[in-house]
Amino acid sequence: MMQNYKVILGLLLFNLFIAFLGIGLVIPVLPTLMNEMNLTGTIVGYLTAAFAIAQLIVSPLAGKAVDKFGRKIMIVMGLFIFGFSELLFAIGKSVEVLFISRIFGGISAAFIMPAVTAFIADITTLQTRSKALGYMSAAISTGFIIGPGIGGFLADIGTRVPFYFAGVLGIIAAIFSSIVLTETKRNHQEIDTMESRYSGLKSILLPMYLMPFLLIFIASFGLAAFESFFSLFVDHKFGFTPKDIAIIITGGAIVGAIAQLLLFEKLTNLWGEIKLIRYSLILSAVLVFSMTVIHSYLSILLTTFMLFVGFDLFRPAVTSHLSKIAGNEQGFVGGMNSMFTSLANIVGPILGGILFDIDLNYPYYFAAVFLVIGVVMTIFWKKLIKSY
């Protein structure tokens, strides 16, 4: 049983990894696409945000569908759509086709993320769930962050090669998941008492849900604003090559994932989830601002590595907290998590693109301010819950 659990969990984590890998693959080729198609920073921002707009629209519906129709079917469908979207991007020669590809990619993420979250909640207990969700967040963060790294290395072979690679990988994962995964039985005993008073979208207005969802938006905004324009930032400011960008972001992904696996459980036990969220946001805010004043390759490397540690400790803390209070609405909470993440992934790149065209440093100034607001919110989090 334990062996079967490990295989299923490993497959679920791999599915999440490749889904979020697809988000980041486009980033190192953005400077090349800008030159080939005469795109402005604003257009690049919209192209990046197209993925998140589709994810935002579909996520609430997908979250409910996960609870109604089952986890497996949503995962398999999401992976097939993901594979199609990546192959479409690989063959796309016009901006319109690239936008369509990113929209399908967003739909696939909206299907996969809440389904995997709910699947993990079904196969774990309250005692083992935090660790499993920590692994899940590591898979998401690593896929999202290492995507540009893999894209940068494969782009040396050809600009479109990374997308052929991701498309084939997605289809293989879909076929394998349809064979290996079996639909789970829901644990109806773990129902939070709050569910008897509120259900569905009304739950968002509860302080216990609203605060973590807003923090997910804030942290995701910071990461989106940072990563979406990192390649353009260092390309325009320092003349970095796609391989330089790949090395920095891949290294950051590895350091962040290791820190998450080694430190998350210990820090959660030491501080609790809310304090860990606060300290992660403080670290991230300081480092995002630091990117505007540092100049050497080594300082950029170290700052980026530590920044991803902050982001990679934040997400599992929020996800773990939400899972504990979600009771029997794991699919709904996973869908809302995905929705607020995608909303930030819309606002971040669009505002970042507009600000980037004004001044290279402005997207990072804005992201740092947003993260500071998140720090202030965590101070009042417990007070709001107690007063409820």
- The answer to whether 133 and 316 have CB atoms below 8 angstroms apart is yes
Residue ranges of alpha helices (H) inside the chain are: 2-25, 30-37, 41-69, 71-91, 95-123, 126-154, 161-180, 207-228, 230-238, 242-271, 273-290, 297-326, 330-358, 362-387
Which pLDDT value is given to residue 194? 40
C-alpha–C-alpha distance, residues 136 and 315, integer Å: 10
C-alpha closest to that of 291 among 361, 231, 353: 361
Task: Return d(Cα 20, Cα 42) in angstroms, integer.
Answer: 23
* Intra-chain end-to-end CA distance of the chain, in Å: 42
Q: How far is CA 215 from CA 4, 67, 269, in A?
A: 35, 24, 21
**Residue ranges, the chain, pLDDT below 50:** 1-3, 188-199, 388
Task: Name the token pair of 93.
Answer: 């020669």
- For residue range 214-264, list pLDDT tens digits in order: 888 887 777 777 776 777 777 777 777 777 777 777 777 778 778 877 888
Cβ-contact 352, 224 below 8 angstroms: yes
Of 369, 355, 266, residue with least CA distance to 313: 266
CA distances (Å), origin 296, targets 114, 231, 304, 312:
40, 16, 12, 24
Q: According to the model, what pLDDT value does residue 384 have?
A: 59
Domain residue spans in the chain? 2-182+202-387
- Quick one: pLDDT at residue 82? 93
What integer pLDDT is reported at residue 158 of this predicted model?
A: 79
Give 2-182+202-387's CATH code, choosing from 2.40.10.350, 3.30.1370.100, 1.20.1250.20, 3.40.710.10: 1.20.1250.20
pLDDT of 287-305, one tens digit each?
Answer: 889 888 888 878 888 888 8
